[in-house]
Amino acid sequence: MKKENKVTFGLKNVHYAPITETVEDKVTYGTPVRIPGATEMSTDPAGESSSFFADDINFYEAIANQGYEGNFNFAKLPISFYTDILGYTLVNGGLYENANAKIKPFALLFEIDGDQQADRFVYYNVSANRPGTSSKTKEDSTEVNTVELPFKATPRADGAIKWVTGPETPQAVYDAFYTKVTEPVEIPEI
């Protein structure tokens, strides 16, 4: 039995896997593609809670789990992300953005290291907003620009939002994490 992490740190191995088909509750994903240069990530829970008061107390609390909202920062997004997810096209070797392009949903995979083993995360149904552009003049030293990618991770039709590896994750599942999107089903041990 592996030990649980006491602490976590870092961010690496960010991948996206386009959703290629959705039929009823069954979602099919493309092969995960690496996004190099991740510098920072943060998420906040999305969803509201409502209180029902009776007998002079909070009698019932209803909480709606709508997933997460967050931001990823990268050194630079690869061209493939712009074309596979954000709907850009390549024209004369450059990225062309059209207002009528459709942004595609995807799975987002990444890992955060720990004192025992990295935790690997997958968000199953992610939509990203178009990133902005910012830069400033060089001064005495060169400051590297980053790209901020706002995103939302919402529940799929079957309710799945995310899955994170743990100390009991079978080694085969852990090792194959970036080859395909791991579904939240039990894998029988051999």
Query: Nearest-CA neighbor of 8 among 166, 152, 162?
Result: 166
HEC string for 130-164: CCCCCCCCCCCCCCCCCEEEEEEECCCCCCCCEEE
Average pLDDT for residues 36-64, to the nearest whole number? 86
Core vs surface per residue 106-145: b (16+ CB within 10 A) or e: bbbbbbbbbeebbbbbbbbbbebeebeeeeeeeeeeeeee
What does pTM read for this prediction?
0.87
Average pLDDT for residues 147-153, to the nearest whole number? 95
In tens, the pLDDT along 73-97 reads 999 999 999 999 999 999 999 999 9
Q: How confident is the model at residue 190 (pLDDT cuts 50, 70, 90)?
A: low
- Looking at residue 154, what is its pLDDT? 95
Task: Report the percent of the chain where pLDDT is more than 70.
Answer: 97
Of residues 9 and 24, more confidently modeled: 9
